Amino acid sequence: MKKYLLTAVVTAAIATWAAPAFAGPFTFNNGNQLYRYCLGEDDPATKSSDRVYCIGYIVGVADAMSAVRAANGAKPCIREGISVQQLVDVVIKSLHDHPEKRGDTAASIAGVAIADAYCPAGDK
């Protein structure tokens, strides 16, 4: 059972990184949507739940990245001491600094931002 779960996580993560090429109807969220959730701009009444969604989404991407790296025998990028808020800040900064990428899948944007910030060069 554990092997099948790991295979599912690895498959999902690989699909995430391949997703920019298919950034059409196959995606749940794109960068524009994630950016709005993270900033809580849509509706003051849902600002808190939008922020929770943003944090959960980014943590989910980070967890999937860690699982894939572990399955492949690679060292973790997200080392002890990196806070959830740091991960969120890195992704929000990437969304802010690269509006031209916001049409891509949210998972691919978050994954690349986290890898660029925390994975050693040449080990992404």
- Give the whole-angstrom CA distance, residue 54 versus residue 34: 6
pLDDT given for residue 123 in this prediction = 66
pLDDT given for residue 42 in this prediction = 65
Quick one: pLDDT band at residue 4, thresholds 50, 70, 90? very low
Please indicate whether residue 60 or residue 120 has the higher confidence score (pLDDT): 60
Q: CB atoms < 10 A from the CB of 26, how many?
A: 9
Whole-model pTM: value is 0.74
pLDDT given for residue 124 in this prediction = 57
At 68-114, the pLDDT tens digits run 999 999 988 998 999 999 999 999 999 999 999 999 999 999 999 99
Decide which of 1.10.260, 1.10.8, 1.10.510, 1.10.890 is the CATH code for 2-118: 1.10.890
